[in-house]
């Protein structure tokens, strides 16, 4: 079984590899306006229970992120309980992404 977490650097390698996976942003819309990763799908954490089964494929690798990695880890735990076995949380969230992968993404 996959680890529950993946680093920002590993996520960047995954994006660069061209492999098919879903990058899922579970932050609120105002946070997306402040900082985002291009190509990510937005489903705010509170909407996950009502939208996950309609909008996400349980067979796909899903990398979930938030601001610092707490909400995303909670979402991954819930997704895994629902049968999304390849869901992972990006450790440190978009804050880690800004600091170690893409300095053009604003910190907030």
Which residues are the active-site residues?
66
- The answer to whether the beta carbons of residues 82 and 41 sit under 8 Å apart is no
Question: Tokens representing 1?
Answer: 């079984």
- DSSP 3-state of 58: coil
E-only strand ranges, 1-108: 5-6, 22-25, 41-42, 62-65, 87-90
């Amino acid at each position: 079984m996959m680890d529950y977490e993946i680093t920002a650097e590993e996520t960047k390698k995954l994006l660069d590899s061209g492999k098919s996976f879903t990058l899922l942003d579970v932050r609120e819309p105002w946070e997306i306006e402040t900082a985002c990763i291009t190509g990510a799908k937005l489903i705010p954490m509170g909407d996950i229970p009502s939208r996950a089964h309609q909008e996400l494929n349980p067979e796909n690798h899903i990398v979930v992120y938030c601001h610092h990695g707490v909400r995303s880890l909670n979402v991954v735990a819930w997704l895994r309980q629902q049968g999304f076995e390849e869901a992972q949380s990006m450790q440190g969230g978009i804050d880690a992404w800004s600091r170690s992968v893409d300095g053009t993404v604003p910190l907030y």
